[in-house]
Amino acid sequence: MSKIIQDSMYGQVIALDPNETLIATFRADLPTYWKSHAIMALIAGVVAGVALAYGGNPAPWVGPVAAVLAIGLRAAYLKSEVLAEEWRLTNRRLLGPGGRIAPLSSLKLARPFLGAVQLVMAGGDKHLIKYQADAAATVAAIMAAKAGTQ
């Protein structure tokens, strides 16, 4: 199986400031990753089968099979990239993949969102910490760190 080679931004680690401490690290959870893709494949398969049956196709079973294969191959191909993503929570900010920085002072909202955690910043920017095994615990840790900064 091929492996996605990360670009230089993913390899870049943002250094902590001198008075900054690391509180937690959030990585994608493999079982949650596969579960999410299984749900997507199931929904896409049902939609594809119904669409083909509604359209009068004599072989509507092809839609669900194709949907499962397509989403399964996509999941297998992107797995190495997704599992390499890491978010680090410090006492001042969240440091994400690709050089993303989300200051806790600008964090407006953190909420569970379909097996992930959505971060909404005061300026309207949104970030997604994907495939969290316990999204509620991730939100709690982020909000506790934010409460400690104010």
What is the Cα–Cα distance from 126 to 69, expressed in whole angstroms? 31
Q: Which residues contact 73 (CB under 8 A, 6 or more apart)?
A: none
Give pLDDT tens digits along the chain (150 positions).
444 444 444 556 778 888 889 999 999 999 999 999 999 999 999 999 999 999 999 999 999 999 999 999 999 999 999 999 999 999 999 999 988 999 999 999 999 998 899 999 999 999 999 999 999 999 999 999 999 855
Q: Write out the E strands in 97-145.
A: 101-103, 107-113, 116-121, 126-129
Q: What is the pTM of this model?
A: 0.82
Sheet with 101-103, strands from edge to edge, namely 22-27, 86-90, 93-95, 101-103
